[in-house]
C-alpha cells in the first residue's frame, strides 16, 4: 500500500475492495487555490452498494465478542500511528492547517481509537429480587452513516468510528468533498485490517447525503457540520425514525472578568480563537471583556495577531494556514467587510496578495450584540471583542444566542467564575481555559448546536439500542 500524497489515484472502500468512482472530481490545495489531486466520486448505485456491504457485514461483526472488536481498534490505532507522517502531510495539503496541527489531528485520531479499545459494554443488573430479575443490555443498531466535515476530517471521523465499531455496528462514511483524501487513505488502512464491509467509504460532491440519510437500511446517522444541514438530516431521518447524533455549529462566547491580567490570559484566548484558522466548532467566536481591562486586552490580542506567521501549512514556521475552501473564504471576507462598518479593526483584516485562501488573523473591537460578526458564527480568523460592565449582563448576552455548543469563563474569583459557568446555556463550559477535549470527556451541544453526545460512555451508548430483559424468578 502506497501513501504517496502526490499520487493521482485514490480509491473508495466498498465491501472490502478499493474501487474507482463512477466519475472523478478535483481536490484543491487551499494554500494555492489549485487542484493537486483527483478523487473518485461515487454514484447512487455505489452508495447503495456500500450500504448493502455494511448490512451484510453486520451479522458476523455484531456477534464478535467485545474483546475481539477491541483488538481490531488497537490494530487500526497502530497502523494510523505507523503512517502518521504521511497522513499528516496529505491532510495539510487538502485541509490547509500547519503540519504540526495536522500531525496532532492524526495522533489524536489514533488516541481515540486506542481509548475506545479499552471500553466495554457490560450487562447491568437493575434488579435482583424475589419478584424479578431485570437486566439492561446494550445492543448494536446496524448500519451507521457517518458524515464528516472538512475542518477536522480525520479526528472527527474517529469521534464516531471507534464507538460505532466497538458497539457492533458497521459503517458507511462520507467525507467532505473538499477534504476526502486522507479519509480515503484511512480506508486503505481499514481494508487491510477489518473484515470486508465493516467500514465503507464513499466520496461525493455533496450530492449523496440526502440519499444516504433517507435509505431504509440505515439505522443511525452521525453527522458533524452546520446547523442548517443538520436540520435537513433530521428531517430526512424522520421518515424511518433513524437514530441521530448531530454535532452542529457553535458561536462560543468567552467571558473575561475584570480581575485577570490581560497579558497573562491573552495568549490562551488567542490560541483557542484562531486554532485551525478559526475553523473549529468550539473555538472562541465571541469575546466579552470587562470594561476595566478592555483596551489592554484588545492591545494584547492585536499584538499576537500581528506577530502570527500566516502561510502554507507545509512551510517551516507557519502558525496559521489558509481557510479551507473558496466558499468559506468568500463568506468570511463578507463578514470582514461588515465588521469594518460596525466596529474597529485593530489588527489583521488583510487579504495577502498571493494565491490561496489566506486572511490574516483579525481583531475587531467596538462591536456589540446585534452586529453580524457577533451574532453569527464566522468560522474563520476574525475575533470580535465586546465590552461589558456587568458580568450578569455579559452572561445574559452570551446565552441569548440560539447556539449553545461551548463557552468559557475567565477570572480569579473562584466563586463568581463557577457561578457564571454553571449558568452558561451550553453543552460544555470551560473555566480559565477553552477547547480542552478528550475521548473520555462527553462532547455535545445545547439548543441548535446539536442533539446527542460523542466520546465517553455517553457517546458509546449513542451507538446502541437499550435492551431490557425482565424475567420472572
Please report the domains of the chain, with CATH numbers, ordered by start residue: 12-248+449-471 (3.40.605.10), 253-438 (3.40.309.10)
Summarize the confidence of residues 171-179 as an average pLDDT: 98
Instruction: Report CA-CA distances (Å) from 175 to 124, 156, 182, 224.
Output: 36, 10, 9, 10
Cβ atoms 153, 106 nearer than 8 A = no
247 belongs to the catalytic site = yes
Catalytic residue among 39, 281, 300, 462: 281
Cβ atoms 137, 154 nearer than 8 A = no
**For 310-327, how does the pLDDT look when each residue is reduced to its tens digit (9 = 90+)?**
999 999 999 999 999 999
Question: So what's the pLDDT on residue 9?
Answer: 85
Number of residues in the chain: 473
Cβ atoms 30, 355 nearer than 8 A = no
Q: Kindly report the pTM of this predicted structure.
A: 0.96
Summarize the confidence of residues 124-153 as an average pLDDT: 97
**Set of cell numbers at residue 43:** 454514484
**For 192-218, how does the pLDDT look when each residue is reduced to its tens digit (9 = 90+)?**
999 999 999 999 999 999 999 999 999
Question: So what's the pLDDT on residue 5?
Answer: 43
Question: So what's the pLDDT on residue 3?
Answer: 39
Instruction: Report CA-CA distances (Å) from 257 to 404, 416, 434.
Output: 20, 9, 15
281 belongs to the catalytic site = yes
Question: So what's the pLDDT on residue 12?
Answer: 98
Q: Where are the alpha helices (DSSP H) in 64-139?
A: 66-82, 84-95, 99-116
Pairing relation of β-strands 286-290 and 253-256? parallel
- Label residue 177 by pLDDT band (50, 70, 90): very high
**For 93-117, how does the pLDDT look when each residue is reduced to its tens digit (9 = 90+)?**
999 999 999 999 999 999 999 999 9
pLDDT at 130 over 50: yes
pLDDT at 4 over 50: no
Catalytic residue among 247, 300, 377, 454: 247
Q: How many CB atoms lie within 10 A of CB 125?
A: 10
Cβ atoms 51, 172 nearer than 8 A = yes
- Label residue 374 by pLDDT band (50, 70, 90): very high
Q: For 83, list phi and psi in degrees, rounded to 5.
A: -105, 20
Q: Which stretch of DSSP H or E encloses residue 299? A: helix 294-307
Q: How many CB atoms lie within 10 A of CB 434?
A: 25
Question: So what's the pLDDT on residue 280?
Answer: 98
Question: So what's the pLDDT on residue 2?
Answer: 41
**Set of cell numbers at residue 293:** 481591562
pLDDT at 8 over 80: no
The one-character DSSP state at 404 is: E
Rounded CA gap, 466 and 445, in Å?
Answer: 22
Cβ atoms 213, 47 nearer than 8 A = no
Amino acid at each position: 500500500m502506497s501513501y504517496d500524497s502526490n499520487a493521482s489515484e485514490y480509491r473508495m472502500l466498498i465491501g472490502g475492495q478499493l474501487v474507482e468512482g463512477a466519475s472523478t472530481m478535483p481536490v484543491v490545495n487551499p494554500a494555492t487555490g489549485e487542484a493537486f489531486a483527483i478523487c473518485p466520486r461515487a454514484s447512487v448505485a455505489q452508495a447503495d452498494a456500500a450500504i448493502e456491504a455494511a448490512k451484510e457485514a453486520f451479522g458476523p461483526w455484531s456477534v464478535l465478542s467485545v474483546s475481539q472488536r477491541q483488538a481490531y481498534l488497537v490494530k487500526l490505532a497502530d497502523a494510523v500511528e505507523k503512517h502518521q507522517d504521511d497522513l499528516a502531510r496529505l491532510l495539510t495539503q487538502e485541509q490547509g492547517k500547519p503540519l504540526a496541527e495536522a500531525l496532532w489531528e492524526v495522533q489524536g485520531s489514533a488516541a481515540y481509537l486506542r481509548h475506545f479499545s479499552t471500553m466495554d459494554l457490560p450487562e447491568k443488573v437493575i434488579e435482583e429480587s424475589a419478584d424479578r430479575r431485570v437486566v439492561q443490555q446494550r445492543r448494536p443498531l446496524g448500519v451507521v452513516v457517518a458524515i464528516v466535515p472538512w475542518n477536522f476530517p480525520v479526528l472527527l471521523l474517529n469521534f464516531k468510528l471507534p464507538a460505532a465499531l466497538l458497539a457492533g455496528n458497521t459503517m458507511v462514511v462520507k467525507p467532505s468533498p473538499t477534504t476526502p483524501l486522507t479519509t480515503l487513505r484511512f480506508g486503505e488502512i481499514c481494508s487491510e485490517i477489518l473484515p470486508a464491509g465493516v467500514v465503507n467509504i464513499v466520496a461525493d460532491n455533496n450530492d449523496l447525503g440526502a440519499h444516504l440519510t433517507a435509505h431504509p437500511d440505515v439505522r443511525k446517522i452521525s453527522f458533524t457540520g452546520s446547523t442548517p444541514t443538520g436540520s435537513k438530516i433530521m428531517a430526512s431521518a424522520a421518515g424511518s425514525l433513524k437514530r441521530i447524533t448531530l454535532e452542529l455549529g457553535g458561536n462560543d462566547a468567552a467571558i473575561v472578568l475584570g480581575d485577570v491580567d490581560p497579558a497573562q490570559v491573552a495568549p490562551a484566548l488567542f490560541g483557542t480563537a484562531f486554532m485551525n484558522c478559526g475553523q473549529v466548532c468550539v473555538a472562541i467566536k465571541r469575546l466579552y471583556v470587562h470594561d476595566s481591562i478592555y483596551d489592554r486586552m484588545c492591545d494584547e490580542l492585536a499584538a499576537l495577531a500581528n506577530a502570527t506567521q500566516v502561510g502554507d501549512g507545509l512551510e517551516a514556521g507557519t502558525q496559521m494556514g489558509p481557510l479551507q475552501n473558496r466558499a468559506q473564504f468568500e463568506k468570511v471576507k463578507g463578514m470582514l467587510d461588515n465588521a469594518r462598518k460596525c466596529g474597529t479593526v485593530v489588527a489583521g483584516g488583510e487579504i495577502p496578495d498571493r494565491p490561496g485562501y489566506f486572511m490574516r488573523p483579525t481583531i475587531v473591537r467596538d462591536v456589540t450584540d446585534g452586529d453580524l460578526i457577533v451574532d453569527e458564527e464566522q468560522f474563520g480568523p476574525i475575533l470580535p471583542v465586546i465590552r461589558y460592565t456587568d458580568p450578569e449582563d455579559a452572561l445574559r448576552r452570551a446565552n441569548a444566542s440560539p447556539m449553545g455548543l461551548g463557552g468559557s469563563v475567565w477570572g480569579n474569583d473562584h466563586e463568581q467564575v463557577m457561578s457564571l459557568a454553571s449558568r452558561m446555556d451550553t453543552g460544555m463550559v470551560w473555566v480559565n481555559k477553552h477547547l480542552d477535549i478528550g475521548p473520555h470527556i462527553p462532547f455535545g451541544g445545547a439548543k441548535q448546536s446539536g442533539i446527542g453526545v460523542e466520546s465517553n460512555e455517553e457517546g458509546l451508548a449513542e451507538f446502541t439500542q437499550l435492551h431490557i430483559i425482565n424475567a420472572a424468578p
